Amino acid sequence: MVAAWGREGILVYNQGYAEVCGPRHPRALGGQLLEIWPEARAFNAHVIESGLAGRPLSFHAQELEHWRLGRPEKVWMDLEYTPILDEGGTPMGVLGSVIDITARVLGERRMAASESRLRFLDRLAQATADARDADAVLSTTTRLVAEHLGLSNCAYADMDPDGDGFTIRGNWHAPDAPSILGHYSLAAFGRLAVGELNAGRPLVINDNLAEIALHEAKTFQDIGIAATICMPLVKDGRLAALMAIHHAQPHHWTEEELGLIREVTERCWAHIERVGAEARLRESETRFRAMADDAPVMTWMTDASGACIYLNRRWYEFTGQTEAEGLGLGWLDAAHPDDRERSEQVFLTANAGREPFRLEYRLRRKDGAYRWALDAASPRTGAHGEHLGYFGSVIDIDERREAEARLRTLTNVVPAFVWFASPDGRLHFLNDRWCAYTGLTLEQSLPDGWTDAVHPDDRARTAAIWSDARERGVTYEIEVRYRRHDGAYRWYVARAEPLRDPGGVITTWFGTSTDIHDRKGVEERLRELNETLESRVAERTSELLTAEEALRQSQKMEAVGQLTGGVAHDFNNLLTIIRSSVDFLRRPELPEARKARYLDAVSDTVDRAAKLTGQLLAFARRQTLAPQVFNIGEKLRAVADLLDTVTGARIQVVAEIPDSLCFVRADLSQFDTALVNMAVNARDAMDGEGALTLRLTCGGALPPIRDHAGSTQPFAAIALIDTGTGIAPEMLERIFEPFFTTKEVGRGTGLGLSQVFGFAKQSGGDIAVSSVVGEGTTFTLYLPQVAAEALDREEAVEATVSPVGMGQRVLVVEDNVEVGTFATQILEDLGYETTWAATAEEALDRLGSEGADFDVVFSDVVMPGMGGLALAREMRRRMPHIPVLLASGYSHVLAQDDQHGFKLVHKPYSAEQLGRLLRQVASRRPERSERYT
């Protein structure tokens, strides 16, 4: 309530009117009405004038513009004004009743607008309901939107892939507005348009000349647009399309208009998507029906309830049914009366469980004849996993059934289980013998139920072997126990072979299972018999092995006896020459020429004896080798001529030796002996007639031989290839054993190849053998290859050194009295001063800590206590300035390692050899002054 007094309209009001005043309260209390509400001056002046004239006023839903919140706003009020009279009845003011009904009016207007919007959307939906393409939907939509809002333009556009260009391909415009079809650049419409639309927000411009830059507004103005709402369509994060409403004049867009165009755009795009999906679905259905009708089999489809909604053309052609007769469950009418109930039950049960199924039944052909058919189907599932129904096919298998009947008749004659399986291992055929034996029906046995009849202990093994055979496509075979109908188990052997198409692809497996129970019983009894038999055989074998070992030892001793006898005979011959020569040399009247001849004979005989002992040590692999570097090709050419003499005239020796240089480091004497031994073996294997090839290959690796690892270092390979009788495979592993021989008794001791083997191993190499019985044998000797720069030059130096001493002091270490006496005499005769120690320990005492002024030590290797090599090493540690010369007829240590680092003279040695080596060794001793600097 409010009262306005007098012509000034002095205000007095209650709390309700204070709320209408808003921020003008309390200033309005006592204020003048026309000044407090200047925006309604004319209206309020009329109220004061009427009240003072005694006229009441009444207004309903009066629209006024108020500035209560600092900005103009429309309000609606119910107003009642009554004159205020004094005691005399004269009007003194106006009493007003003010009720603000703005919220109610706005609500009513929003409701009306909503009803109008809904009516429009309903009309739009009806107008586009039958549209079947996007352009039709958009054309209708743009026209109706522009007409409904009374606008000049409504358009839609597609964005270019570059995200800037767009093409307006649909535009409804008022008769007085221009068409805006064409291609445009989004950037030309300003930064606001680019930013808002790419962000997925609508572009809203009420007056482009007032709200955006003039050069940007010009793009709108050039096509007759002053106000715009443009709605973006963003797909997968990219601006894809636009829909816009335009007005040729500035226009303040209301929330209702913005909401309407937003909803229309969303509905329009959704409708377009739906129309596109429906078009694609119709196209897919058309293709499906075309393919299904042209399929070589009958096909069908059901909905989720199980009702058939599609049967292809071949079904109708085969059964003679019409579409009205076959759909739903009418297809069952074409099944044989005896099969209908079973077929319906199988189908409905599968549909309830949403499981695939296979069904065989007789199907009536349109001529009234029944033929067997196979009906198979799998469930259809929607995008969200919902059950949509089934899709299945029906195949005429009448001829196959007849063939199976014939096959069953034939397989029932076979005294075994006969079965067929698909490539995945699932059985699809078993003959009647299986059912009779196991008591299982075919329905229970196929495709996988047959495993129930397998013994529990055999199931895992059976499954593994069956799976492995299928994966590798090989024969399947297993011994397995099957349960008989009475619960007993019998042994069977199951075999299967894969059957393949012309391309080699497995199409099926054919198998049989044959009863072997009686045979297994016999085998078990035989096994038990064998167990006792084996114990008796083991006893007999042990006795036989003992006897064979005794015989082998006897044969070895016989070979040793043969070797010893031969060695004794050779040594006796040599000693005879020495003894006779000595006897003649003792005669004083013997002429000097005769003396020289007998002395030469003694010297030559000693050399032959030394060579014989060297060969014996090589047989035992204890030879102290004297390795040297030589060109093996040159050496082999010289040996090839010698082999002609060794092998005889009827054996042709062929040398295949490259011209390139090839150097090895080995003992020349033992190398010659090894080649001769291999050549003699080849000669004996060829019985004196054939061909022997001597072949040299250089630079190759050493292959693995007899389980020994090979080497990638370069080796020289010397192969002797014969055309003899060959060696049996069981003999190859033993031919290098000492005393083992494949020759007849009396033709060999078994030491020749043992010498070759020992020489090869001591030289850092190996020997390989390969043989084919009846064709020949190849022995290949491998020796490490060395560089040409490794050639020993000391031999040439040694030949120029004089054997005569120059008074050097020599400490002789020798445990044998005769040899020690002889050695000191030789050295003194050659000009050396000698001191003799009988043991290495005594020698160390004589040497002291500094060597006691001895110039050189000459020591035997094999002695009681500390040996010569140990003495030499101790001297190297304590007094490295004193050189050492070692002497040995045999040393196990030196035979194992020729790289001991000390000079060695072999027994027996000559005075000249000893003097020359001792002079050479002594020359390496530094002068005394050098030792103390």
- With a CB cutoff of 8 Å and minimum separation 6, the contacts of 888 are 624, 860, 861, 862, 868, 894, 904, 906, 907
Q: What is the pLDDT of residue 286?
A: 65
Written as one letter, the residue type at 660 is: S
Q: What is the mean pLDDT of residues 298-317?
A: 92
Q: What is the pLDDT of residue 445?
A: 95
Q: Chain-wide mean pLDDT for the chain?
A: 84
Q: What is the pLDDT of residue 277?
A: 63
Q: What is the pLDDT of residue 912?
A: 82
Q: Examine the pLDDT at 929 and tell me if it is beyond 50.
A: no
pLDDT band at 794 (very low <50, low <70, confident <90, very high): very low
In the three-class reduction of DSSP (H, G, I as helix; E, B as strand; rest coil), residue 10 is classed as strand
- With a CB cutoff of 8 Å and minimum separation 6, the contacts of 912 are 803
Q: What is the pLDDT of residue 592?
A: 80
Q: Give 579 or 506, the one with higher predicted confidence.
A: 506
Q: What is the pLDDT of residue 905?
A: 83
pLDDT band at 437 (very low <50, low <70, confident <90, very high): very high
Indicate the range of 175-179, 488-492, 894-898 predicted with least confidence. 894-898
Instruction: Provide the token pair at 736.
Output: 């290098």
Q: Give 260 or 748, the one with higher predicted confidence.
A: 260
- Ranked by mean pLDDT, which of 425-434, 598-607, 682-691 comes out on top? 425-434
- Ranked by mean pLDDT, which of 243-247, 593-597, 732-736 comes out on top? 243-247
Residue ranges of alpha helices (H) inside 440-500 are: 442-445, 456-472
Q: What percent of the chain has pLDDT over 90?
A: 42
Q: Examine the pLDDT at 900 and tell me if it is beyond 80.
A: no
Task: Judge whether 155 and 244 are in contact, CB under 8 Å.
Answer: yes
Residue with tokens 């040497």: 847
| 437: region left, alpha or beta (phi > 0 left; psi from -120 to 50 alpha) | alpha
Q: What percent of the chain has pLDDT over 70?
A: 84
Q: Is 588 exposed, middle or buried (0-12, 13-18, 19+ CB in 10 A)?
A: exposed
Q: What is the pLDDT of residue 731?
A: 85
Q: Give 264 or 206, the one with higher predicted confidence.
A: 206
Q: What is the pLDDT of residue 892?
A: 52
pLDDT band at 182 (very low <50, low <70, confident <90, very high): very high
Task: Judge whether 198 and 239 are in contact, CB under 8 Å.
Answer: yes
Q: Give 684 or 435, the one with higher predicted confidence.
A: 435
Q: What is the pLDDT of residue 23?
A: 83
Instruction: Provide the token pair at 898.
Output: 């020729």
Q: What is the mean pLDDT of residues 740-764?
A: 71
Q: Examine the pLDDT at 27 and tell me if it is beyond 80.
A: yes
Residue ranges of alpha helices (H) inside 354-419 are: 398-413
CA-based R_g, the chain, Å: 61
Residue ranges of alpha helices (H) inside 330-395 are: 337-353
pLDDT band at 364 (very low <50, low <70, confident <90, very high): very high
| Other Cβ atoms within 10 Å of 24 Cβ, number | 17
Q: What is the pLDDT of residue 615?
A: 53
pLDDT band at 122 (very low <50, low <70, confident <90, very high): confident
Task: Judge whether 142 and 154 are in contact, CB under 8 Å.
Answer: yes
Q: Examine the pLDDT at 617 and tell me if it is beyond 80.
A: no
pLDDT band at 798 (very low <50, low <70, confident <90, very high): very low
Give the DSSP H/E element, type plus range, for residue 220.
helix 214-222
Q: Is 124 exposed, middle or buried (0-12, 13-18, 19+ CB in 10 A)?
A: buried
Q: Give 449 or 287, the one with higher predicted confidence.
A: 449
- With a CB cutoff of 8 Å and minimum separation 6, the contacts of 533 are none
Read off the pLDDT of residues 54-75 as tens digits, 9 standing for 90 and up: 999 999 988 888 776 667 788 8
Pseudo-torsion of CA 530, 534, 540, 546, nearest 10°? 150
pLDDT band at 744 (very low <50, low <70, confident <90, very high): low
In the three-class reduction of DSSP (H, G, I as helix; E, B as strand; rest coil), residue 49 is classed as helix
CB < 8 Å & 24+ apart, contacts of 339-348 = 343/375, 347/306, 348/306
| Other Cβ atoms within 10 Å of 492 Cβ, number | 22
Domains of the chain, earliest start first: 2-100 (3.30.450.20), 124-279 (3.30.450.40), 295-396 (3.30.450.20), 400-515 (3.30.450.20), 620-789 (3.30.565.10), 801-931 (3.40.50.2300)
- With a CB cutoff of 8 Å and minimum separation 6, the contacts of 144 are 120, 123, 124, 127
- With a CB cutoff of 8 Å and minimum separation 6, the contacts of 809 are 832, 833, 834, 835, 853, 854, 855, 856
Q: Examine the pLDDT at 605 and tell me if it is beyond 60.
A: yes
Parallel/antiparallel/unpaired status of strands 856-860 and 809-813: parallel
Q: Examine the pLDDT at 505 and tell me if it is beyond 90.
A: yes
